[in-house]
Amino acid sequence: MKDRKRRLIVDGFNVLRSGSRYRDIDGPNPDYDHDWFNRAREVLVNDIVHYSGREWQATVVFDGGGNAESTGEAERVGGVEVVFSPAGSAADKVIEKLAFEGRQNGFEVLVVTSDATIQDTVFGLGVDRMSAEGFSIEMERYYADAVLDETPQVAVKRTVAERIDGETLAKLQALRDGR
């Protein structure tokens, strides 16, 4: 389904604080210090890269409204847009705007957040929603499946002989062997 236009928008701080996969990175950090935030953010962005793959245009939005120097400019990391909302503006407004623009441009849009206000707002736009915990669970499953996929497997040969009936195979072998 490569012709489908899909847009993934992730509420960064909400997922980091509400998703079990991210809350306890390198041990519990109730103070959310800068080191914890940077580690958790890196894990989240990597997860979004894996989740979105080539099927989704992905953006993760973090709240930068309290930072006077935040411009709201997007930075690309592994194909994912990372945005800090501009000074004086909440991430919620950026997320809602991206969801609205996505729907207006014919995209299927999925917003990942546990913020009830954002969920209600984007639902009214016809946007799909996933909770922060739901995203955490999806990522845990993804990595569990990836580990299972790493077990050595015998490659299956897909020869013509395996795909045709026995009578036709016998005739072809007779032709080959000159009988």
Domains of the chain: 6-154 (3.40.50)
- The stretch 127-149 carries a mean pLDDT of 85
Beta-bridge partner residues of 9: 59, 111
- Give pLDDT tens digits for 8-62: 999 999 999 899 998 877 655 555 567 778 888 899 999 999 888 888 999 999 9
Question: Strand, helix or coil at 2?
Answer: coil
CB 83 within 8 A of CB 59: yes
Nearest CA-CA partner of 122 in 160, 164, 163, 92: 92
CA atoms within 13 A on the CB side of 70: 19
Alpha-carbon distance values, 110 to 30, 50, 71, 104, 165 (Å): 29, 15, 25, 14, 47
- Give pLDDT tens digits for 55-99: 899 999 998 877 777 777 888 988 999 999 888 888 999 999 999
| pLDDT level of residue 1 (50, 70, 90 thresholds) | very low
Question: Strand, helix or coil at 64?
Answer: coil
pLDDT for residue 175: 84
The rounded radius of gyration (Å) of the Cα atoms in the chain is 23
Structure tokens at 51: 């989740």
Rounded CA-CA distance 158/65 in Å is 57
The backbone torsions φ and ψ at residue 89, rounded to the nearest 5 degrees and listed phi first, read -125, 135
Residue 156 has pLDDT above 70, yes or no: no
Residue type at position 84: F
pLDDT for residue 74: 85
Residue ranges in the chain assigned as alpha helix (H):
12-18, 20-23, 34-52, 91-104, 116-123, 132-149, 160-163, 166-177
Residue 134 has pLDDT above 60, yes or no: yes
Q: What pTM was estimated for this model as a whole?
A: 0.76
Structure tokens at 44: 């989240």
pLDDT for residue 87: 85
Nearest CA-CA partner of 130 in 47, 38, 72: 47
